[in-house]
């Protein structure tokens, strides 16, 4: 059984001041998605391309912040958005210290950790930095993030590895995981906190989590080397071979990190960051593209199946497949055929990051969510 779900309304918005606006930000490698919301209405949505992002001018993501902020503000003004009414600027959460699920105000401690990249460097780190810069430019506005990628609800047993010097960390697409799981619960007339779900986010990175009664008790460490390979990530690799590559003299540390994240996965085979390019190659009859995509779907299916044991014999109520690659019927079909014996498969295509951020932003305006402090 497979069912597609496109848009689910998570609730009716009734803000006290209907002129208050929420600005949502989702920075990606070469563009930033932005949207402005007023209550239930979407006033503005745009994918702002950053064609001028040259590595010699902007060698790190941090270096791009001021440039992206100025471009975003210019776009808002040119599209007649009254920025003085923007009260909430909310971005994707980045690689910071492990935190519990929820909404966080961007503060100096968070900015320091995002800029230092001590917990990892990724374009997602720009979410909080852009929100802060834009909020500082608008009087009466405040900056937030919600459900960052480091939301940590792992059960203790899931943290073990085969070496006491190394522990598994919680790094996954928490925002889209949580919002997709809540959408599924809503269409089943249930509560997320009452369900057992396996959620697979299929994007540039692939993260798969076991959601037990509202908590993600296990998930692959998607950012830097665990689970299935993805469009730009290598996933789990044979460790002995990786160690030998590190000491071969052919690669620097930075080159090895790029092999794992950024230039791994589908990119390593086809030299494109776009999974949809590879899907088009497959559809045009490219046998290599078909073989590699099938192998990726096979690995995704294996990891979904492995999480069944996390529920200690309890029934799994559903398997939710979401993210950009959930739009590809062939990949979804291959996964479904292998895992639907575990539970019904539901597809929520795309990663509704902006919609999820708006949902949290409206809750902030209504005072319906605790705003947590990052320390």
Query: What phi-psi label fits residue 20: left (phi over 0), alpha (psi between -120 and 50 degrees) or beta?
Result: beta
Q: Residue 180's closest CA among 41, 358, 369, 352?
A: 352
Contact present, 217 and 155 (Cβ < 8 Å): yes
Kindly state whether residue 2 falls inside one of the protein's structural domains.
Answer: no
State the pLDDT at residue 58. 67
State the pLDDT at residue 312. 96
Kindly state whether residue 164 falls inside one of the protein's structural domains.
Answer: no
Do 357 and 331 share a structural domain? no
State the pLDDT at residue 57. 64
Q: Which residue has the tokens 């795309």?
A: 350
Using alpha carbons, list the distances in angstroms from residue 285 to 23, 266, 280: 42, 17, 9
Q: Residue 199's closest CA among 187, 221, 184, 188?
A: 184
Do 105 and 87 share a structural domain? yes
Do 341 and 234 share a structural domain? yes
State the pLDDT at residue 56. 57
Contact present, 327 and 5 (Cβ < 8 Å): no
Do 73 and 134 share a structural domain? yes
Kindly state whether residue 166 falls inside one of the protein's structural domains.
Answer: no
How many angstroms separate the CA atoms of 163 and 166, rounded? 6
pTM for the model: 0.87
Q: Residue 200's closest CA among 348, 93, 361, 342?
A: 348
Q: Residue 120's closest CA among 83, 80, 91, 148?
A: 148
Contact present, 126 and 91 (Cβ < 8 Å): yes
Domain at 99, CATH number? 3.30.420.40
Strands 41-49 and 31-38: antiparallel
Contact present, 220 and 208 (Cβ < 8 Å): yes
Kindly state whether residue 37 falls inside one of the protein's structural domains.
Answer: yes
Kindly state whether residue 165 falls inside one of the protein's structural domains.
Answer: no
State the pLDDT at residue 10. 42
How many angstroms separate the CA atoms of 219 and 209, rounded? 4
Handedness of CA 331, 336, 342, 343 (dihedral sign): positive
Do 280 and 253 share a structural domain? yes
Do 268 and 135 share a structural domain? no
Do 357 and 229 share a structural domain? no
Do 225 and 115 share a structural domain? no
State the pLDDT at residue 54. 64
Find the domain containing 220 and state its range: 174-349
| pLDDT tens sequence for the chain (375 residues) | 444 444 434 444 344 566 899 999 999 888 999 999 999 899 999 999 987 766 656 678 888 999 999 999 999 999 999 999 999 999 999 999 999 999 999 999 999 999 999 998 888 999 999 999 999 999 999 999 999 999 999 999 999 999 999 999 999 999 999 999 999 999 999 999 999 999 999 999 999 999 999 999 999 998 887 999 999 999 999 999 999 999 999 999 999 999 999 899 999 999 999 999 999 999 999 999 999 999 999 999 999 999 999 999 999 999 999 999 999 999 999 999 999 999 999 999 988 899 999 999 999 999 999 999 999
State the pLDDT at residue 174. 96
Q: What are phi and psi of 261, to 5 degrees?
A: -135, 115
Kindly state whether residue 163 falls inside one of the protein's structural domains.
Answer: no
Which residues have a Cβ under 8 Å from the Cβ of 75 and sit 6 or more positions away?
34, 46, 48
State the pLDDT at residue 343. 98
Kindly state whether residue 168 falls inside one of the protein's structural domains.
Answer: no
Our count of domains for the chain comes to 2
Kindly state whether residue 72 falls inside one of the protein's structural domains.
Answer: yes
């Amino acid at each position: 059984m497979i069912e597609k779900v496109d848009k689910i309304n998570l609730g009716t918005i009734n803000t006290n001041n209907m002129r208050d606006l929420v600005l949502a930000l989702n920075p990606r490698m070469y563009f930033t998605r932005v949207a402005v919301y007023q209550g239930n209405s979407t006033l503005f949505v745009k994918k702002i391309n950053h064609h001028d992002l040259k590595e010699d001018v902007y060698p790190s993501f941090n270096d791009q912040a001021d440039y992206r902020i100025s471009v975003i503000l210019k776009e808002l003004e040119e599209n007649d958005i009254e920025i003085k009414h923007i009260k909430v600027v909310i971005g994707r959460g980045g690689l910071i210290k492990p935190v519990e699920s929820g909404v966080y105000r961007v503060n100096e401690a968070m900015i320091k950790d995002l800029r230092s990249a001590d917990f990892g460097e990724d374009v997602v780190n720009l979410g909080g930095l852009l929100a802060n810069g834009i909020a500082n430019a608008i009087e009466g506005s405040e900056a937030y993030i919600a459900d960052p990628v480091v939301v940590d609800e792992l059960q203790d047993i899931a943290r073990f590895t085969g070496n006491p010097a190394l522990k598994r960390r919680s790094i996954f697409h928490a925002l889209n995981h949580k919002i997709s799981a809540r959408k599924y619960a809503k269409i089943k007339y249930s509560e997320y906190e009452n369900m057992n779900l396996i959620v697979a986010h299929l994007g540039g990175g692939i993260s798969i989590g076991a959601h037990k009664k509202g908590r993600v008790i296990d998930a692959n460490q998607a950012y830097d080397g665990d689970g299935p390979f993805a469009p730009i990530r290598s996933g789990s690799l044979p460790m002995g071979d990786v160690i030998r590559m590190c000491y071969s003299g052919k690669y620097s540390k930075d080159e090895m990190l790029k092999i794992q994240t950024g230039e791994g996965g589908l990119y390593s085979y086809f030299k494109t960051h776009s999974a949809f390019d590879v899907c088009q190659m497959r559809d045009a009859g490219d046998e290599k593209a078909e073989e590699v995509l099938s192998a990726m779907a096979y690995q995704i299916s294996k990891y979904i199946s492995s999480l069944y044991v996390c529920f200690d014999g309890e029934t799994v109520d559903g398997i939710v497949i979401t993210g950009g690659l959930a739009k590809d019927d062939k990949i979804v079909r291959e996964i479904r055929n292998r895992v639907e014996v575990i539970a019904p498969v539901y597809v929520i295509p795309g990663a509704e990051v902006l919609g999820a951020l708006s949902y949290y932003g409206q809750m902030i305006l209504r005072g319906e969510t605790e705003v947590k402090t990052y320390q």
